[in-house]
């Protein structure tokens, strides 16, 4: 990695930009052109699983698309990311590398309130950052698009 700081837009707040320290996984307020998204912490939903407590980010840096969780990060081209749900309301997010599962998160599915009768695919992904990450990394074409887009950077909208 060429630097230790990358600017990211907050996934859940349109008006916030954070500087992510790639070594520690800590964030601090910033401003400027962003190179991906960060979700600061999972909202606390009542439910059986609450293992997901670290900042998570998807971004491009030094020609590579990265997924970072806490102080760990993975080159998205060399890992497989999976997302699934269970009938008990928990969701599982896994990152699998050449040596097996590198990250295994269980968390309680967000329950959007109130019920929106026009709930659609965008809503489902907007409610769950890890679900969105898994969907964006599902195909080589999407990864390629995101890499080019995030390397170029974007201003917070």
* For other proteins, the closer CB: 31 or 145: 145
| Cα R_g (the chain), whole angstroms | 15
Interacting residue with other proteins among 2, 3, 15, 63 (CB under 8 A) = 15
Please tell me what DSSP assigns to residue 11: S
User: What is the C-alpha separation between 78 and 143, in angstroms, rounded?
Assistant: 12
Residue 145 engages other proteins in binding (rule: CB under 8 A):
yes
How near is the Cβ of 64 to other proteins at its closest, in Å?
Answer: 15
How near is the Cβ of 53 to other proteins at its closest, in Å?
Answer: 20
Assign 153 to helix, strand or coil. Answer: coil
**Binding window for other proteins (CB under 8 A); candidates: 19-27, 71-79, 98-106, 142-150:** 142-150
Residue 149 engages other proteins in binding (rule: CB under 8 A):
yes
Residues forming a β-bridge with 83:
93
How many amino acids of this chain bind other proteins (CB under 8 A)?
44
Are 37 and 9 a contacting pair, CB within 8 Å? yes
Are 73 and 6 a contacting pair, CB within 8 Å? no
How many Cβ atoms sit within 10 Å of the Cβ of residue 120? Answer: 9
The two tokens of residue 109 are 């599915």
Subset of residues 65 to 124 that bind other proteins, contact rule: CB under 8 A: 84-89, 109-124
Which residues contribute to the site for other proteins (CB under 8 A)?
9, 12-15, 34, 37, 84-89, 109-126, 132, 136, 142, 145-146, 148-150, 152, 154-157
């Amino acid at each position: 990695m060429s630097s230790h700081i990358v600017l990211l837009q907050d996934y859940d707040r349109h008006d916030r930009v954070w500087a992510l320290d790639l070594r520690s996984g800590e964030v601090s307020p910033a401003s400027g052109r962003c190179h991906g998204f960060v979700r600061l912490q999972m909202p606390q939903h009542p439910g059986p699983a609450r293992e997901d407590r670290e900042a998570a980010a998807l971004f491009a840096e030094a020609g590579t698309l990265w997924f970072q969780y806490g102080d760990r990060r993975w080159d998205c081209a060399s890992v497989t990311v999976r997302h699934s749900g269970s009938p008990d309301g928990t969701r599982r997010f896994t990152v699998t590398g050449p040596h097996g599962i590198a990250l295994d998160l269980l968390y309680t599915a967000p329950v959007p309130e109130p019920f929106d009768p026009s709930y659609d695919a965008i809503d489902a992904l907007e409610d769950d950052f890890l679900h969105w990450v898994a969907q964006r990394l599902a195909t080589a074409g999407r990864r390629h698009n995101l890499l080019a887009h995030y390397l170029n950077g974007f201003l917070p909208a």
